[in-house]
């Protein structure tokens, strides 16, 4: 694999008449995501040698790429995605399903993915939250993408986490409708908790500062919560660019954000089936694109401040939160119709650090889950499955003669070991986000008090 090649991410809307695909000079090919009325249905890699592509060939590629997702949306049975850790579901009532499938002559035309105007849905308000730290340019890009969305949220909140300068505040100032809060306690979990405490919407939707939203993102968030059991919804994260080896390796080799184009529901039954084997909560989605009912906060759900970027457990605050949501009997849903584009780390150095943090956080989250719930499944994952997985990966590393993408695994392995240290810190540093203990975010000393007040009032 030549990681030096640049690939161009491109979207093709199938609802429009198909035009061919043109060559992108300087790119090894294009990564095409096929959409139907704003909902992503699949992607494929088309090499530059295949370009330009005539409309009939694009139709052929598109039909094979989107078929599984279209089938899932149309008849579900027989097309559903297997849930992580479980075998493929066997279709019930195959005869009826086949009959209805065969009755659909024009699958795309009959694919109704428009959010249904359902009673109760319109009244569900959405707060958009961006937790950020010293990335004013990324933040401005993200805010601009939110402005370009077709629907307006009830509010957009920027949580500035333990800022060192007022760059973030100044960036937010350029967007008059955006509220700014400053959370001095370091850590993404603290920032997320602050957002939950302050948001006014019924649903709090988090988007990472280094991502941009698809124009339909905001409008679709409330509909994802039509099912009253659902407490958390995660969405699809597509690459915004694939310009550097680090970005390509993150996208293709690690696939942290790959959860497919079919909806998955993780419910009580799922949790019950896998709790003794270890519930793969990290496969539910990505914290970069997740929405939570605000009522979760009222029920006492908090992000554990010992996990997440900014503190020792460098990641895993999202999946550990989902674990508790499932354990308490609520459901999580992965809904690929909520789509954002993420700018992956451009430098290999940053990617290595990220993988280190990911694995450290993963191990820390497993330790914490075991400490909180005492389910052997998490211990099994930690002491059996993870070492086994890494053993295989290391074998792959040797087999690939230390290829650059596999070399990063070593950082991951190091992260795992360091993460074990979390067990010793567990009781020394208590979770500061326990209900009642959470502090209302206050402004850091660097900023004048009246500014914060102004921002809140706007």
The CA-atom distances, in angstroms, between 70 and each of 43, 61, 89, 104 are 13, 14, 17, 11
Residues 25-44 that bind other proteins (CB under 8 A): 29
Contact call for residue 49 and other proteins (CB under 8 A): yes
Contact call for residue 416 and other proteins (CB under 8 A): no
* H/E element, 127: strand 126-132
Contact call for residue 215 and other proteins (CB under 8 A): no
Nearest distance in Å: CB 31, other proteins: 9
Residue 79 vs 341, nearer CB to other proteins: 79
Among 9, 14, 280, 348, the residue binding other proteins under the rule CB under 8 A is 14
Contact call for residue 16 and other proteins (CB under 8 A): no
Contact call for residue 98 and other proteins (CB under 8 A): yes
Q: Where are the alpha helices (H) located in 260-373, listed in sequence order?
A: 268-274, 295-298, 317-327, 348-373
Start-to-end CA distance of the chain, whole Å, equals 51
Contact call for residue 23 and other proteins (CB under 8 A): no
Residue 79 vs 250, nearer CB to other proteins: 79
| Contact partners, residue 289, CB within 8 Å, separation at least 6 | 206, 207, 208, 211, 234, 235, 236, 237, 338, 339, 340, 342
Residue 62 vs 443, nearer CB to other proteins: 62
Contact call for residue 62 and other proteins (CB under 8 A): yes
- Residues 188 and 310: beta-carbon distance below 8 Å: yes
- Residues 289 and 234: beta-carbon distance below 8 Å: yes
Contact call for residue 100 and other proteins (CB under 8 A): no
- Residues 172 and 140: beta-carbon distance below 8 Å: no
Category of 98 on φ-ψ map: left (φ > 0), alpha (ψ -120 to 50) or beta: alpha
Contact call for residue 121 and other proteins (CB under 8 A): no
Contact call for residue 101 and other proteins (CB under 8 A): yes
Contact call for residue 219 and other proteins (CB under 8 A): no
Q: How many residues does the chain have?
A: 458
Residue 97 vs 369, nearer CB to other proteins: 97
Tokens 């760059």 sit at which residue?
167
Among 23, 108, 162, 197, the residue binding other proteins under the rule CB under 8 A is 108
- Residues 266 and 333: beta-carbon distance below 8 Å: yes
Contact call for residue 11 and other proteins (CB under 8 A): no
Among 9, 32, 33, 97, the residue binding other proteins under the rule CB under 8 A is 97
Contact call for residue 18 and other proteins (CB under 8 A): yes
Angle 50-53-59 from CA coordinates, rounded to 5°: 115
- Residues 264 and 81: beta-carbon distance below 8 Å: yes
Contact code string over 65-94 relative to other proteins, x by CB under 8 A: -xxx-xx--x--xxx----------xx-xx
Return d(Cα 33, Cα 340) in angstroms, integer: 12
The DSSP secondary-structure symbol of 255 reads -
Among 6, 37, 57, 407, the residue binding other proteins under the rule CB under 8 A is 57
Among 25, 102, 176, 457, the residue binding other proteins under the rule CB under 8 A is 102
Among 4, 13, 22, 47, the residue binding other proteins under the rule CB under 8 A is 47
| Contact partners, residue 335, CB within 8 Å, separation at least 6 | 220, 224, 233, 234, 235, 263
- Residues 192 and 317: beta-carbon distance below 8 Å: yes
Residue 44 vs 379, nearer CB to other proteins: 44
* Structure tokens, 325: 């949501």
Nearest distance in Å: CB 352, other proteins: 24
Contact call for residue 392 and other proteins (CB under 8 A): no
Q: Is the peptide bond before 52 cis (omega within 30 degrees of 0)?
A: yes
Tell me the pairing of strands 230-239 and 331-342. Answer: parallel
Binding residues with other proteins: total (CB under 8 A)? 44
Contact code string over 222-251 relative to other proteins, x by CB under 8 A: ------------------------------
Return d(Cα 297, Cα 196) in angstroms, integer: 6
Contact call for residue 148 and other proteins (CB under 8 A): no
Nearest distance in Å: CB 376, other proteins: 24
Return d(Cα 155, Cα 157) in angstroms, integer: 6
Contact call for residue 64 and other proteins (CB under 8 A): yes
Tell me the pairing of strands 230-239 and 155-161. Answer: unpaired
Nearest distance in Å: CB 66, other proteins: 7
Contact call for residue 106 and other proteins (CB under 8 A): yes
Instruction: Name the site residues for other proteins (rule: CB under 8 A).
Output: 1, 14, 17-18, 29, 45-47, 49-50, 55-57, 59-64, 66-68, 70-71, 74, 77-79, 90-91, 93-95, 97-99, 101-102, 104-109
């Amino acid at each position: 694999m030549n990681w030096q090649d640049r690939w161009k991410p491109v979207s093709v809307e199938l609802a429009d008449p198909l035009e061919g695909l043109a060559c992108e000079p300087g790119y090894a090919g294009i990564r095409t995501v096929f959409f139907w009325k704003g909902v992503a249905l699949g992607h494929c890699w088309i090499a530059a040698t295949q370009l330009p592509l005539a409309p009939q060939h694009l139709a052929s590629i598109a039909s094979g790429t989107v078929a599984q997702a279209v089938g899932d949306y149309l008849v579900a049975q027989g097309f559903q995605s297997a849930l992580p850790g479980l075998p493929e579901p066997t279709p019930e009532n195959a005869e009826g399903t086949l009959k209805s499938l065969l009755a659909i002559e024009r699958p795309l035309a009959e694919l109704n993915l428009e959010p249904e105007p359902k009673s109760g849905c319109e009244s569900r308000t959405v707060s958009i939250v961006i937790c950020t730290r010293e990335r004013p340019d990324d933040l401005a890009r993200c805010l601009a993408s939110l402005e370009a969305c077709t629907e307006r949220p009830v509010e957009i909140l920027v949580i500035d986490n333990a800022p060192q300068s007022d760059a973030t505040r100044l960036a937010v100032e350029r967007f008059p409708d955006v509220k700014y809060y400053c959370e001095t306690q370091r850590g993404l979990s603290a920032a997320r908790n602050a957002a939950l405490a302050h948001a006014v919407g019924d649903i709090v939707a988090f988007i990472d500062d280094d991502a941009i939203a698809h124009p339909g993102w905001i409008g679709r968030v409330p509909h994802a919560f039509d099912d009253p059991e659902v407490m958390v919804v995660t969405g699809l994260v597509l690459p915004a660019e694939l310009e550097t080896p680090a970005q390509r390796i993150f996208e293709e080799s690690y696939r942290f954000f790959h959860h497919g184009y079919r909806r998955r529901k993780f419910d009580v039954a799922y949790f019950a089936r896998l709790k003794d084997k270890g519930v793969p909560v990290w496969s539910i989605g990505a914290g970069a694109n997740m929405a939570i009912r605000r009522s979760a906060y009222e029920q006492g759900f908090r992000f554990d401040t010992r996990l997440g970027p900014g503190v020792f457990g460098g990641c895993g605050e999202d999946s550990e939160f989902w674990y508790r949501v499932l354990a308490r009997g609520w459901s999580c849903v992965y809904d690929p119709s909520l789509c954002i584009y993420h700018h992956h780390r451009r430098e290999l150095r940053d990617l290595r650090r990220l993988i280190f943090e990911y694995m450290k956080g993963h191990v820390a989250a497993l330790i914490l889950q075991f400490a909180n719930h005492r389910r052997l499944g998490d211990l099994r994952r930690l002491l059996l499955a993870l070492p086994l997985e890494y053993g295989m990966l290391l074998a792959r590393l040797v087999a690939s003669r230390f290829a650059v993408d596999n070399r990063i695994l070593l950082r991951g392995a190091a992260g795992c070991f360091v993460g074990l240290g979390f067990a010793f810190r567990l009781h020394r540093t208590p979770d500061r986000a326990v209900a009642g203990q959470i502090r209302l975010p206050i402004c850091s000393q660097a900023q004048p008090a009246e500014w914060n007040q102004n921002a809140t009032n706007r």
